[in-house]
Amino acid sequence: MQNECEVRIERLWVDERTQRCRLELRTRDRTRALWLPIGIVEAALCERLEPSDGGSDPLALAHAALQASGVVIEAGRLAALPDGALRGELTLRAADGTRRRVHGRAIDVTLLCARAGATLHAPASRLVAAGDVSD
């Protein structure tokens, strides 16, 4: 993909006071942060998924569900569509070694990659819009 950079998700946490999730992204030369309302994150990752143990971490639930089925998230990719929206793609590896690519919303792919520690590839131009945090 042209004009693409590799992104490492350094941190992911929830600010309980503001009810927002912060993703700290590291490119080769900069660190950037994205803030997302916690409701969007929960809706993206927990649609129709009720935690049976009373837990409230939707990222942990989604990642645990994949792990329990023997699926490993190898990488994620965000691609810019002609209308400017982002589309997400996950590369998954099953226990038997077969690989599969699945498409989904950019937020789902980003947050699942963060939880799994997988590499995320994203259009460099879209990261500039996220704003610098620090170097």
Q: Domain segments of the chain: what residues?
A: 4-134
Place of tokens 């590369």: 91
> Between 69 and 113, whose confidence is greater?
113
Distance separating alpha carbons of residues 107 and 124, to the nearest angstrom? 17
Name the nearest CA neighbour of 110 among 99, 126, 96. Answer: 126
Residue 39: predicted pLDDT: 61
pLDDT tens track for 45-88? 544 334 444 445 555 656 666 676 677 888 888 888 888 777 88
Which CATH class name applies to 4-134? alpha beta
